[in-house]
């Protein structure tokens, strides 16, 4: 008869463990988010440095998934090459083995007291603004340890090694059988894919072996399956990303799958070697159940570490070959007419590391700013287009870009709102607020460009007259000032994490635009009274000049929204 209390206790302890890992990882990411980005971007001079970087970052944040998703997002943003990303992922495979050793420690010793102390100190620090992230890290550690302790105690209390059904189930499998190996590989892969946490499945595997319910020989097959299953997350995340990011995610799958295949060819001697390294008798492990129960918590993490270290040491020399293979398998999609309207750097799948997803949003705002500048270039062309077909074609393109800016604002804002639902540091929340205002102001620039095009179109449709040479000269001068302002604005948006940038040029241009508008406004009244052109032509003329001045105001709003400070404020 099923004991539902025990079942729910097991599920609850597993949930505690998974929540603890997530909270611990996010707490560490919040404490060192920007530093992690800088490390991954700068410490990848060669494949060996990249692997060492990936190893230490993963060991620090206790999540290979976070490191991989971070790497995929950096490749998506064009900050890392595919070769650099592959080397980081190789290192992450070694770093992730630290998690299994932490679990081994939890299964070997009673860490319940440590869990309660961590929870007590953590809850105090959570209410201290300065140490909130460290408090979350400690709280995550407490949940992780409590989950391990409960999982261990519940598993032991079930006495699965004495359950006839469990014994009969595992006894029908031979660890040397190809069918058994394939089945348990599949089970490990599918379970990891469903739970989205190799750490959780590793804990279950260690519990089953520690209770004597499952032979260690089958446990190591599950561990290999978990190594394949954990690669699926990054591939799912990269589905909506660019071709480089998809190649990075696929390289993760290729490396682990290839590693599993070669180790299966020498599984018995490799397993024997690992047992000798940790001082475990491989023969007693297969025949003495009590011996196996005691030593499984050393053998499993040791096998996990040995496999990933060996695989990395082999694959690190084959990075150029791996790069060529994944480039042949993952080919660029043919560009469509709607390519311009798509976001380049963000997708919903990359939200699993909210603290680091902000980087993608920043890159997307740079693209947004560049598209606004490109749109203004079309407006300047439209001013001098006289042929009807060419004018209509260019006007339609400006109209299309206006729709693109509307979509970009909504998509980036929705993405930022989703990111803000995650566990973020105060600094990151402030950054999101700045970016939400920034995309709103960029969309206003798109509207302003479209309004300029509409004013020109109205003049063309409702008047047989044209602007005077002086009017054209004044409009061109005003647009030249706007062009300079947009260039300066794009440079500020690109500056990104730089706290201090030169804003003098932008503010000087804004004052110049305002003064020029006032000058032309007064001149327009004088010219109309002097009958240089009629009143209606003056209205069309001033509509364009006034809209150019508004555009200059929106440019300053964007700069203020970035949160950038002038160098003079240092």
**In this structure, how many other beta carbons lie within 10 angstroms of the beta carbon of residue 47?**
21
Question: Domain spans of the chain?
Answer: 4-329, 345-569
pLDDT one-digit tens code per residue, 200-218: 777 778 877 777 778 888 8
Place of tokens 């000087």: 508
Contacts of 307 (CB under 8 A, 6+ apart): 223, 224, 227, 259, 263, 270
List average pLDDT for each run of 10 residues in the chain, which is 570 residues long.
64 75 69 60 66 75 68 69 84 80 69 78 81 79 76 65 62 72 85 73 78 81 85 71 78 89 89 86 77 80 89 88 88 58 59 64 87 93 85 91 90 86 75 90 94 91 85 93 93 72 83 93 90 89 93 92 63
pLDDT value of position 485: 93
- Enter the tokens of residue 410: 């909504």
For domain 345-569, which architecture applies?
Up-down Bundle (1.20)
> Virtual CA dihedral for 152, 157, 158, 162, nearest 10 degrees?
110
pLDDT of 167: 62
The rounded distance, in Å, linking the Cα atoms of 325 and 206 is 35
User: How far does the chain reach from its first CA to its final CA, in angstroms?
Assistant: 72
Position 348 scores a pLDDT of: 44
Burial grade of 463 (CB within 10 A; 0-12, 13-18, 19 or more)? middle
Q: Alpha helices, DSSP H only, in 62-96?
A: 64-76, 82-95
411-436 burial, b at 16+ Cβ within 10 Å, e below that, comes to bbbebbeebeebbbbeebeebbebbb
Distances from the Cα of 488 to the Cαs of 274, 362, 483, 508, in angstroms? 60, 17, 9, 11
Q: Does residue 531 contact residue 425 with C-beta atoms inside 8 Å?
A: no
* Cα–chain center distance at 204: 28
Per-residue confidence (pLDDT) for residue 429, from 0 to 100:
82
User: Is 276 in a helix, a strand, or coil?
Assistant: helix
Q: How far is CA 14 from the centre of its chain?
A: 26
Using a pLDDT cut of 70, give the percent of the chain over it: 78
Chain centroid offset of residue 491 CA: 24
pLDDT of residue 350: 46
Placement of tokens 């991989």 in the chain: 68
Q: What is the pLDDT of residues 24-48, one digit of tens each?
A: 767 766 666 556 556 655 655 567 7
**pTM of the full predicted structure?**
0.65
Rounded distance, CA 409 to CA 160, Å? Answer: 57
Around Cβ 28, how many Cβ atoms within 10 Å? 23
Q: How many other CB atoms are found less than 10 A from the CB of residue 43?
A: 16
């Amino acid at each position: 008869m099923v004991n539902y209390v025990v079942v729910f206790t097991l599920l609850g302890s597993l949930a505690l463990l998974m929540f603890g890992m997530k909270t611990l990882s996010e707490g560490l990411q919040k404490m060192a988010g920007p530093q992690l980005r800088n490390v991954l971007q700068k410490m990848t001079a060669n494949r060996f440095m990249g692997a060492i970087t990936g190893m230490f970052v993963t060991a620090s944040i206790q999540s290979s998934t976070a490191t991989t998703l971070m790497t995929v997002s950096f490749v998506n943003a064009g900050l890392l090459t595919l070769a650099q990303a592959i080397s980081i992922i190789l290192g992450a495979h070694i770093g992730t083995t630290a998690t299994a050793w932490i679990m081994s420690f939890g299964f070997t010793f009673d860490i319940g007291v440590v869990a309660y102390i961590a929870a007590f100190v953590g809850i105090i620090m959570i209410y201290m603004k300065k140490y909130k992230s460290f408090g979350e890290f400690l709280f995550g550690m407490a949940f992780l340890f409590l989950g391990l302790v409960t999982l261990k105690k519940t598993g032991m209390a079930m006495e699965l090694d004495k359950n006839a059904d469990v014994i009969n189930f595992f006894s029908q499998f031979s660890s040397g059988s190809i069918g058994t190996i394939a089945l348990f590989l599949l089970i490990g892969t599918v379970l990891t894919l469903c739970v989205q946490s190799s750490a959780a499945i590793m804990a279950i595997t260690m519990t089953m072996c520690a209770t004597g319910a499952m032979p260690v020989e089958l446990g190591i097959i599950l561990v290999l399956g978990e190594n394949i299953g954990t690669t699926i997350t990054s591939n799912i995340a990269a589905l909506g990303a660019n071709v480089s990011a998809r190649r990075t995610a696929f390289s993760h799958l290729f490396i682990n799958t290839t590693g599993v295949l070669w180790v299966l060819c020498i599984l018995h001697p490799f397993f024997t070697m690992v047992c000798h390294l940790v001082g475990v008798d491989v023969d007693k492990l297969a025949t003495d159940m009590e011996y196996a129960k005691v030593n499984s918590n050393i053998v499993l993490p040791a096998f996990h570490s040995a496999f990933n270290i060996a695989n990395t040491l082999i694959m690190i020399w084959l990075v150029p070959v791996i790069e060529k293979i994944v480039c042949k398998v993952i080919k660029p999609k043919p560009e469509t007419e709607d390519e311009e309207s798509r976001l380049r750097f963000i997708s919903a799948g990359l939200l699993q590391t909210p603290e680091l997803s902000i980087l993608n949003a920043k890159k997307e705002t740079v693209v947004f700013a560049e598209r606004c500048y490109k749109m203004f270039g079309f407006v300047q062309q439209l001013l001098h287009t006289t042929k009807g077909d060419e004018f209509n074609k260019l006007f339609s393109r400006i109209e299309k870009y206006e729709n693109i800016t509307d979509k970009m604002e909504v998509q980036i804002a929705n993405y930022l709102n989703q990111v803000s639902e995650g566990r973020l540091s105060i600094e990151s929340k402030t950054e999101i607020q700045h970016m939400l205002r920034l995309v709103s102001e960029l969309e206003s620039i798109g509207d302003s460009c479209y309004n300029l095009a509409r004013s020109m179109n109205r003049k063309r449709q409702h008047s047989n007259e044209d602007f005077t040479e002086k009017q054209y000269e004044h409009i061109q001068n005003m647009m030249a000032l706007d062009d300079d302002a947009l260039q300066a604005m794009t440079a500020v948006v690109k500056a990104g994490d730089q706290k201090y940038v030169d804003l003098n040029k932008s503010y000087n241009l804004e004052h110049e635009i305002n003064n020029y508008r006032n000058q032309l406004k007064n001149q327009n009244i004088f010219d109309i009274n002097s009958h240089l052109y009629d009143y209606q032509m003056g209205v069309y003329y001033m509509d364009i000049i006034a809209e150019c001045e508004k555009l200059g105001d929106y440019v300053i709003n964007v700069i203020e929204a970035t949160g950038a400070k002038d160098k003079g404020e240092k």
